[in-house]
Amino acid sequence: MPLHPEYELLLKQMADIGGPSLSEMPVEQGREMYRMMQPENPSLVVGSVHDKKIPGPAGDISIRIYTPKGKGPFPIVLMFHGGGWVIGDLVTADVQSREVCRGTQTIVISVDYRLAPEHRFPAAADDCFAALKWAYTNAQHFDGDPTRLAVAGDSAGGNLSAVVAQMAKEAGPDLRFQLLVYPATDGSRFDTESYIANADGYMLTLDSMQWFWEHYADAEQRLDPRASPLLAKDLSGLPPAMIMTAEYDPLRDEGEAYGARLADAGVIVETIRFDGFIHGFFAQTQTISATRPAMQKACEALESALN
């Protein structure tokens, strides 16, 4: 399918502006650029929003708790932001966290995990798993239901959601669902058909993915399933999943490969490719109108699994 007209216009506007690519920027400049691209949007009103610090494996972890209107106890979704483990934070995950909270009547806990290169693999995964365990143990203190837990995230956040689901299978707590949006699942190779066809020109590039991985984990570490969940030997027993991919995305094929492996292992999984879309659509519901049905589908899947 051709590139969606809204994305065609967006990419043209970005090309006209010009400037260095992400992989050519210092890390701090990349982080600031990403915050400008994905700002907070308090106009998407939820019941309440508050920030909190919780204990982590290497110091406090900042989280943001979005609570829906109404009376709980509510299901809980742990939201792990994208940004290649290097950029992204509570600000850049604000819109998708609000959308999921509003669309599912669940508490969304957005996790500000440690970033690379200051904190390399497995720091991000360890923080995200610690946040899940904290939510399970402390649910009664924020009107949450610890028996109805899910993980969700896009890109690196999809990677971390898949990794945390694998960790929780071994050590608990039980998860009801995993929402993996264009997840990075294999850092050991960059030669899939989608990497080759979409190497440049669609916002996320082959160069930028290599830049992200080089900051996050070395070649040997990328063979660890906590970095590359696709490389896990046994995917049986994992919670049901929805995997969303974009046609014009270098990560398309590895996300779909993970869905196929989950299905082969007997896991209930729905894998959906959004034709005409590029990487990043989960956070663009306020700027790209065509992405709104994708968010609605994600919320319907979460709500069905958690209620």
Residue 23 has pLDDT above 90, yes or no: no
- pLDDT tens for each residue of 44-90: 999 999 999 999 999 999 999 999 999 999 999 999 999 999 999 99
Nearest alpha-carbon partner for 107 in 137, 70, 82, 157: 70
Whether 160 and 187 have beta carbons less than 8 Å apart is answered as no
Nearest alpha-carbon partner for 39 in 286, 290, 278: 286
CATH assignment at residue 243: 3.40.50.1820
DSSP secondary structure letter of residue 19: -
For 292, list phi and psi in degrees, rounded to 5.
-65, -40
Percent of the chain topping pLDDT 70: 100
- pLDDT tens for each residue of 195-239: 999 999 999 999 999 999 999 999 999 999 999 999 999 999 999
The partner residues of 93 in beta bridges, in order of sequence, read none
141 noted as active-site residue: no
**115 lies in which domain range?**
5-306
155 noted as active-site residue: yes
d(CA 193, CA 250): 8
Whether 50 and 109 have beta carbons less than 8 Å apart is answered as no
Find the mean pLDDT for residues 18-31: 88
207 noted as active-site residue: no
- pLDDT tens for each residue of 98-135: 999 999 999 999 999 999 999 999 999 999 999 999 99
pLDDT band of 18, cuts 50, 70, 90: confident
pLDDT score, position 166: 98
Average pLDDT score over the chain: 97
d(CA 34, CA 52): 23
pLDDT score, position 64: 98
d(CA 108, CA 68): 9
Whether 186 and 250 have beta carbons less than 8 Å apart is answered as no
Say which of 112, 186, 249, 253 is annotated catalytic.
249
* Strands across the sheet containing 241-248: 48-56, 59-67, 107-112, 74-80, 144-154, 177-181, 241-248, 269-278
The domain total for the chain is 1
Percent of the chain topping pLDDT 90: 95
The CA–CA distances, whole Å, from 192 to 155, 219, 259 equal: 17, 17, 15
d(CA 81, CA 64): 12
The bridge status of strand 269-278 relative to strand 241-248 is parallel
- pLDDT tens for each residue of 272-298: 999 999 999 999 999 999 999 999 999
Say which of 155, 194, 208, 228 is annotated catalytic.
155
d(CA 203, CA 289): 18
